[in-house]
Amino acid sequence: MTALRCLGIVLLGAIGLLALVGPALAPPPDAQDLGSALSAPNFAEPLGRDWLGRSVLSRLAHGAWTSLGVAAGAVGAATIFGALLGSIAAAVTGMRTPVRWCLDVFQAFPSFIVLLLLSAIFPPTAFSIGIAVALVTWVEPCRIALLTGEAASRHPAVEAARLVEMSRRSILRHFIIPPLVRPLLAVGGLMFGHTILAVAALGFLGLGLRPPTPEWGTMISEALPYFDEAPHLIFAPSLAIAASVTGILLTFDREPTS
């Protein structure tokens, strides 16, 4: 294991600890103390308070569940759908050309522009944002599943299974799907990092979850007017996003070959 991968695991561990332990130790994310508004970090509040006197640490910890939860759900849905569609297309020869055509059409449009359009159309809920992100990220796992499944379908064992009239479902379960696990886990991890950025970008642009729901991108957007007085309001969620994405990319990066 490389030093960079160890660093990635440490970063992910820190973010996971924040998400798991933070909400239990911090005050409620919407609790206000207007007398302490825009207060600097101190012993009682390590990340200070925002313009409404809310604990930044509490909102950061609760926002981890929101930001990471939406991203994880979107990546999971996109990976499962894309993998199933690609695997079925690899097993059923007649489906390969239509699926390839759909992949080319979806990849012809800038994914973030499509995501902005979908986010503007659907209501700003965690479910709708997750579905919108999944609709623009299923292409990569589908293409990987199709290409890997096509290679597996040409294996002599698959040819033998077809000769003995094994069902397509059994061929999928025993010969097509197992080789997909490792590449899909790798691409799913990388997609997770990009999806965290996408969810945060939607919140920053005002197309994400509506306040007072704590979400990292929304926290940055709301803190911009107070940057001169309280820059820590922007640094905290920005560092959380950077640590999450960097940790994921370093952890799921491939080991160097000798």
Q: How far apart are the C-alpha atoms of 217 and 201, rounded to whole Å?
A: 6
Specify if 32 maps to a domain: no
Domain count, the chain: 1
**Does residue 110 form part of some domain?**
yes
Which domain CATH number covers 241? 1.10.3720.10
For the chain, which residues score pLDDT lower than 50? Answer: 256-258
Question: For 81-120, what is each residue's pLDDT tens digit?
Answer: 998 898 888 878 888 889 999 998 888 888 888 898 888 8
Q: How distant, in Å, are the alpha carbons of 63, 154, 209, 246 from that of 82?
A: 28, 21, 26, 25
Tokens representing 3?
């030093």
Q: Is residue 84 assigned to a domain?
A: yes
The predicted pLDDT at position 235 comes to: 92
- Torsional sign, CA 145, 146, 148, 150: positive
Domain coverage including residue 61: 3-20+57-252
The pLDDT of residue 161 is 76
Residue 29 domain-assigned (yes or no): no
> Is 36 domain-assigned?
no
Q: Under 8 Å CB-to-CB from 102, ≥6 apart: which residues?
A: none
CA–CA separation, 10 vs 45, rounded Å? 24
Q: Among residues 121, 128, 113, which one has the least CA distance to residue 209? A: 128
Joined tokens for residue 2: 């490389």
DSSP-based three-state secondary structure for 115: helix
The reported pLDDT for the residue numbered 258 is 41
Q: Is residue 37 a part of any domain in this protein? A: no
For residue 49, tell me if it sits in a domain: no
- Amino acid 254: pLDDT: 61
Q: Residue 64 falls within a domain, yes or no?
A: yes
